[in-house]
Structure 1
């Protein structure tokens, strides 16, 4: 629901939405095939007619979505959405907003679809309809290099930073309790709080975790996984026509290798 600058520069850019790419460098604009109409916040073109597919995202999640030097949203999800829009004969419009505003925006018809590294959960399934999964994610734990935290169990009495509304937020709140969770508007801000010693760890998806650790000396990602989860696109509850169309497009894009190729452009094993 992810983009080598010095730590201070990276954080100042990221906090304003110009996020660095996986590995800590800015995602090159040429890596994105998404010719887009960009819209900030929730003031999207609310017309559901015509040839536009309005994708909502939170572009603080490298390499799935980030903002490049031209203020365009680029990344895995942007490229997949562009490929889906092409299959549907539509123009892609990307609406960048806070992560916890995405589902309400779907319900208010401000956007048509969400691609934001969003994990399928029972709670979210009550609010939106999910497509078939197009990628797998891992929730990872970031800690200082000299931290005594080595396992998930070691988080029990610690203060853990999460991005508001993400599965990291959901998991940690359920497992550790509200008193041990501190919420932030983005993984960037949560990581800066860790660097500043305000919290003991950050739980966030593995790919952006790599970028944040690369951009900040003195941090590491634990070998242990907090959780493994599936990413899917979301549409408004009950919009079966669009759900079926997107699922058909995703099936074709999986079958012809397009999705694997897009992911490989950003994530190098």
Structure 2
């Protein structure tokens, strides 16, 4: 008899508690899933972009975001019929801006890496670039074993920084700068001997200074994707829908060719193969 009474008391106590826990859990899931709906209801999508990594990210004559990333952001907003709000940021503050909701998504040349996947979720890739070491023709770097002989600059906390650091032997003198432009300028004025940058930027520098600079070492190829907070599955689904559609209709490839004068690489157009 005592056991039956105790069972009834516990049931009366536990049912409301369990109900509250389930309600909180369900509410959290709904909140997470509804973020994309909030963006659509707002009518504006806030897209984080860079303006200091041409031709991927640049500013036009009116100081508005331009380049390939700026164009992708516009295609994205147009695809969903939303007003576009650019949120200009620097390389190091891309993920912090995203995690504090200053931007809904990033179209900011953010390469997919295992470390970043712990913090954010990525769409299918929309872009790619090879990372290289660029320097004067007189610099004798051909393998990582040569790195310690020279001063090498990289943009701080970038995938170039990660890539160079990964292969650099002990004793390498790495100089970290706030962004790509600062690192490149340091190389041009002789403050450092080589700079980690994209193959596209390297080609532009070589074109502007014929015979003076060369690609010393190829670090890796990076695939870039739209990034967003992890707790937003419907937003991820929408971004992948946009990429699939504008990849299929050729708009992304046409935009890439406009800015980089080459087709999108197969690692982007056929990422699962």
- Number of residue pairs aligned between Structure 1 and Structure 2: 223
In 1: Cα distance, 2:66 partner to 2:92 partner? 20
Greater share of helix: 2
Cα distance in structure 2, aligned partners of 1:208 and 1:239: 34
Instruction: Tell me the distance in 1 between the aligned counterparts of 2:109 and 2:199.
Output: 11
CA distance in 1, matches of 2:104, 2:174: 32
Q: Return the alpha-carbon distance in structure 1 between the equivalents of residues 71 and 260 of structure 2.
A: 13
CA contact (8 A) 1:142 1:221 kept: yes
Report what 2:124 is aligned to: 132
Q: Deviations over 1:32-87 (max 9, x none)?
A: xxxxxxxxxxxxxxx95511111112211111110111101101111111111111
For 1:146-157, what aligned pairs fall within 5 Å after superposition?
146-157=138-149
Q: Say whether residues 1:71 and 2:91 are aligned partners.
A: no
Paired residue for 1:99? 91
TM-superposed deviation, 1:95: 1.1
Q: Compute the displacement of 1:213 (Å).
A: 4.0
Matched, 1:200 2:169: no
Asked whether the equivalents of residues 137 and 206 of structure 1 are also in contact (C-alpha less than 8 Å), the reply is yes
Distance apart, 1:254 and its partner CA = 0.4
**Which runs of 5 or more residues in structure 1 are unaligned?**
1-46
* Structure whose CA Rg is larger: 2
Which residue matches 1:211? 204
Tell me whether 1:265 sits opposite 2:258 in the alignment: yes
For the residue of structure 2 that corresponds to 1:64, the secondary structure is coil
Aligned equivalent of 1:181, options 149, 174, 177: 174
CA RMSD after TM alignment: 2.1
Residues 206, 157 of structure 1: alpha-carbon distance in 2 compared, 3 angstrom cutoff: same
* Deviation at residue 214 of structure 1 after TM alignment: 3.9
TM-score, normalised to structure 2, is 0.75
- Do the aligned residues in 2 keep the contact of 1:188 with 1:212 (CA within 8 Å)? no
TM-score normalised by the chain length of structure 1: 0.77
Aligned to 2:248: 255
